[in-house]
Amino acid sequence: MDRYDRASLFQSSSLVMVAVAALSLQSAGCALQTSQAMGGEKEAESAQDLKPLVTRVLTREEQEKLTPKEVLQSLKNGNQRFVNGTLTVRDHSSQIRKASLGQFPKAVILSCLDSRIPVEDVFDRGIGDIFVARVAGNFENTDILGSMEFGCKVAGAKLIVVLGHEQCGAIKAAIDDVELGNITAMLKNIRPAVKRVEKIDGDKSSKNDELVRKVTLENVRMTMENIRAKSDILRQMEQDDAINIVGAYYNMDTGVVTFFDH
């Protein structure tokens, strides 16, 4: 093979190598584009999954159409979502702005001070959906009653829920006759419920879980009775079927809320 043939062969081999390299780069570019496209789709899907489902708040017209029975059922449904871990995704920033000029909640919840009970989450409610009053032991007093009257008579809420819970510290303190600062006076509101279940068998201290449970339930019932007895407005509204007053018990282990009327 003379030098011209060798030069021609070398030139042909170089052209083949350049062509192969170009094809490799083209394939890599296609793969990169495909990967980027797939990544973009996944990011879009992820963004869609995180997009808030609820951006609005309850209106006066919607509130007025609700019945106490419908509101109670919505709380039951919300609690089921809480238990299942499928809480509604909400855009709280948007809801805050939309609720700034007025509020039309569905219900008033009287709950214990306990930090382990995130009331709005327990019922899967958002901004503007419910009024929440808190006091250790979830009992009523003049201030709470006035707040409930405002929530129902003035603001239009259709349901009052007295929410007790498992392993309540205030209930245990009332059972054990704890005396400490202003806590002593506060517990006087709960002690009548303790007296109602004194006949229970076994240990009469807070170490008796069954005693604690029964006093908790009795305290809820007693609070419901007191709301009806001490508030002419709320009692009349319930008699007129404008509102309903119910009790509830929150299970700390499962997150399940059990409702009862009496």
Architecture of domain 60-260: 3-Layer(aba) Sandwich (3.40)
Calculate the alpha carbon distances from 15 to 5, 24, 88, 92 in Å: 15, 14, 62, 63
Cβ-based neighbour number of residue 39 at 10 Å: 10
Question: Binding-site residues for Zn(2+), please?
Answer: 112, 114, 165, 168
pLDDT of residue 88: 87
- Residue spans per domain, the chain: 1-51, 60-260
Task: Fill in the amino acid letter for 220.
Answer: V
Rounded average pLDDT per 10-residue block, the chain, 262 residues? 43 40 42 43 43 70 94 97 91 65 89 97 93 98 98 98 98 98 98 91 92 97 98 98 98 97 76
| 244-250/257-260 β-pairing | antiparallel
Residue 152: predicted pLDDT: 98
> What's residue 16's pLDDT?
37
- State how far the alpha carbon of 195 is from the alpha carbons of 21, 65, 107, 219, in Å: 90, 42, 31, 10
Q: Which pLDDT does position 41 carry in this prediction? A: 42
Q: Are 187 and 174 in contact (CB under 8 A)?
A: yes
Known binding residues? 112, 114, 165, 168
Q: Do the Cβ atoms of 148 and 133 come closer than 8 Å? A: yes
